[in-house]
C-alpha cells in the first residue's frame, strides 16, 4: 500500500530485523519522528498509509497537527520530548501517547489533565538508562516507585522508553531496558532511532522512533 521509497526501505529493514528475531512485523510500531519538518514533508507519508508520528515539542505539534488531522483523523501522535508539567494539559489534549513520563510532579499533572479532559494517552516511563546528567528520564533505582505511582494515579502505563548514550553501542542499554520492563511487568519498549532501530527490534522494541532516516537530516 505504501508509495514512499524511504518508508518502503525502512519498512523492509524492520521486517528483516523482526524476522531475524523471530518476531512478527506487526509487533513493532514505527514512529516517524517529524519534528522540525513541515507538513509538506509529512503529508506524503500519510498519503502512503503511515499513521504513527512523533514530535518532541507540544507547541510544534499544536501548530502542525490539527490541520493534518482534518484529512487524516486516524493519525496517531506520539510526544517523545521532555515535558514540562505546565504543558501536561496541552500534551494530553493533542497526544495519543506520551513517551517522556519521568517524575512524580509530571505524573500528578498528567493525571489531573486526563481526569479533566477524559483523554487518556498511553504513557511510557522514560528511564535515564546511561545515567547521563543532561538527559531526561528517571534513575533506574527510582523506576519501581515511579511505576507504582503512575499506576496508582491511573495513568495508562504502556511501557518504558530510553535514549541511550550517543556514539557507543546501544545494544547493552536496550537489553537493560528490556530486562527492567520484564522485571516490572511492563509490556511496551520505546527504543531505537535511525542509527540503531534494527538492533532495538532484535532486542524487543515495540516502538521505534525514526526521524532522519525517513525525513533526511534536520536543519
Ligand atoms: C529526534 C528524536 C528521535 C529520532 O532521531 P533520529 O536519529 O533522527 O532517528 C528519536 N527519539 C527522540 C527522543 C528524539 O528526540
pLDDT value for 71: 97
Helix (H, G, I), strand (E, B) or coil at 190: strand
Phi, psi of 118 (to 5 degrees): 80, -5
Q: How far apart are CA 98 and CA 79, in angstroms?
A: 5
- Measured from the Cα of 209, ligand 1's closest atom is 10
- Measured from the Cα of 212, ligand 1's closest atom is 8
User: With bands split at pLDDT 50, 70 and 90, how would you rate the model's confidence at 217?
Assistant: confident
Looking up cell 525525513 gives 215
Q: Which phi-psi region, left, alpha or beta, contains residue 154 (left: φ > 0; alpha: ψ -120 to 50)?
A: left
What DSSP element (H or E) covers 106? helix 104-117
- In a mutational test of the pocket of ligand 1, which residue from 100, 195, 209, 219 has the highest number of ligand atoms less than 8 Å from its CB? 209
Asked if pLDDT for residue 2 goes beyond 80, the answer is no
Asked if pLDDT for residue 76 goes beyond 90, the answer is yes
Instruction: Give the count of beta carbons closer than 10 Å to the beta carbon of residue 49.
Output: 12
> Exposed, middle or buried by CB within 10 Å (0-12, 13-18, 19+), for 158?
buried
- In a mutational test of the pocket of ligand 1, which residue from 55, 56, 136, 173 has the highest number of ligand atoms less than 8 Å from its CB? 56
Q: How far apart are CA 114 and CA 96, in angstroms?
A: 12
Q: Ligand 1: which residue has its CA nearest to atom 13? A: 80
Task: Point out which residues pair with 127 in neighbouring strands.
Answer: 138, 162
pLDDT value for 103: 98
pLDDT value for 195: 97
User: With bands split at pLDDT 50, 70 and 90, how would you rate the model's confidence at 165?
Assistant: very high
CB 162, CB 127: distance < 8 Å: yes
Asked if pLDDT for residue 9 goes beyond 80, the answer is yes
Interval between CA 76 and ligand 1 midpoint (Å): 17
pLDDT value for 40: 96
pLDDT value for 215: 94
Q: What is the pLDDT of residues 100-154, one digit of tens each?
A: 999 999 999 999 999 999 999 999 999 999 999 999 999 999 999 999 999 999 9
Q: Ligand 1: which residue has its CA nearest to atom 4? A: 211
CB 192, CB 10: distance < 8 Å: no
Phi, psi of 188 (to 5 degrees): -85, 150
In the chain, DSSP finds a helix count (H) and a strand count (E) of 9, 8
Amino acid at each position: 500500500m505504501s508509495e514512499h521509497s524511504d518508508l518502503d526501505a525502512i519498512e523492509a529493514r524492520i521486517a528483516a530485523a523482526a524476522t531475524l528475531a523471530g518476531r512478527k512485523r506487526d509487533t513493532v510500531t514505527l514512529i516517524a519522528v517529524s519534528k522540525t519538518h513541515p507538513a509538506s514533508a509529512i503529508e506524503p507519508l500519510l498519503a502512503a498509509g503511515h499513521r504513527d508520528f512523533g514530535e518532541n515539542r507540544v507547541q510544534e505539534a499544536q501548530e502542525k497537527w490539527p490541520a493534518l488531522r482534518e484529512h487524516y483523523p486516524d493519525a496517531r501522535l506520539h510526544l517523545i520530548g521532555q515535558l514540562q508539567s505546565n504543558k501536561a494539559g496541552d500534551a494530553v489534549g493533542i497526544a495519543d501517547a506520551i513517551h517522556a513520563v519521568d517524575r512524580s510532579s509530571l505524573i500528578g499533572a498528567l493525571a489531573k489533565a486526563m481526569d479533566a479532559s477524559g483523554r487518556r494517552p498511553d504513557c511510557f516511563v522514560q528511564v535515564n538508562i546511561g545515567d547521563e546528567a543532561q538527559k531526561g528520564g528517571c534513575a533506574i533505582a527510582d523506576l519501581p516507585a515511579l511505576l507504582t505511582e503512575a499506576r496508582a494515579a491511573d495513568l495508562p502505563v504502556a511501557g518504558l522508553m530510553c535514549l541511550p548514550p550517543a556514539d557507543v553501542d546501544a545494544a547493552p542499554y536496550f537489553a537493560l531496558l528490556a530486562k527492567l520492563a520484564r522485571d516490572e511487568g511492563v509490556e511496551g519498549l520505546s527504543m531505537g532511532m535511525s542509527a540503531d532501530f534494527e538492533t532495538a527490534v532484535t532486542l524487543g522494541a515495540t516502538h521505534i522512533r525514526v526521524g532522519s532516516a525517513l525525513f533526511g537530516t534536520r536543519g
